[in-house]
Amino acid sequence: MAVHAHPDDESSKGAATSARYVDEGAEVLVVTCTGGERGDVLNPGLKDDPHILRDIVEVRREEMAKAAAFLGVQHTWLGFVDSGLPEGDPLPPLPAGCFYLEPLEVATEALVREIRRFRPHVVTTYDENGGYPHPDHVMTNRISEAAFEAAGDPEAYPHAGEPWQPLKLYYIGGFSIDRIRTFHEALVAHGADSPFESWMERAGSRPQRHLTTWVPCSDHFEARDNALRAHATQIDPAGFFFALPNDVQADLWPTEEYELAVSHVPTQEREDDLFAGIPSRLAEADALAQRLGGAEPILDRRAEPTVKEWT
């Protein structure tokens, strides 16, 4: 189960991993917390399209359906309303009724229902700072962590389905500075303009995340790119996602990266599979997940958020 804030996040973060596991026979569910109602049109070629301006909500739903088909994933909407991205100092207030301002227990119960219905062994989401400080990304982390813990507890949300304990929780780490620097240096070496220089400047000396898992998935970069392009309002076809051809990316950086946050199974310091440590026989994995309700995890690296609060 991949838990994301907006339609298009599933295609820009961990998409090739999702497509790989679907191709190998796993069931993959993308949960989108909001409809992306307050997102801007980021594709310069579509900024003045009257249909998009008239009904961005329906357009983004259509884009999501196309992207899910390219990746082969199942998909569900959690049903909350996009919070938008406030800018300014001081930050302006968020709109009433938005996802970030939902009571944590209300939003968590909605995700617990999906976990107990779908019964995933692995959940992926964003780190405690949202991967980047968008209020919906931060809220996605909060409900993912809370639901991961509550889903297996028979006393938590008793009306939200039969308890089910996922075995591993990961943060998506796909925009690591090492990856960005590798792509930047490759472009510069070939005399091409690099869109990544500003990324490295913004990163500066900021501490980097403790990545633990590198999933080989270069065979599925094309599916990832097709899914990205399906989100036509959000993705510039001439943008940084497509700065390097996929065969070059496959040679330079054939993986997508993750940070293992919580695990109920023994782990290694460096993994190449999100299912590492989980019994390979489905019956054994299911039995383990069902008997772990309320058990303390073997590993728990969750941290407190350090981002600004929105009001």
In the numeric block, the tokens 């940084």 are attached to 240
In Å, how far are 33, 40, 148, 268 from 129, measured between CA atoms?
17, 22, 17, 25
CA distance 271 to 213: 4
Judge whether 9 is annotated as a binding position: yes
Residue 103, Cβ density class (10 Å: 0-12 exposed, 13-18 middle, ≥19 buried):
exposed
- Left (φ > 0), alpha (ψ -120 to 50) or beta: where does 88 sit? left
Judge whether 220 is annotated as a binding position: no
Does residue 63 contact residue 231 with C-beta atoms inside 8 Å? yes
Judge whether 6 is annotated as a binding position: yes
Which spans in 151-196 are helix H? 177-189
Residue 73, Cβ density class (10 Å: 0-12 exposed, 13-18 middle, ≥19 buried):
buried
Q: Which residues are annotated as a binding site?
A: 6, 9, 137
Q: Which residues are annotated as a binding site for Zn(2+)?
A: 6, 9, 137
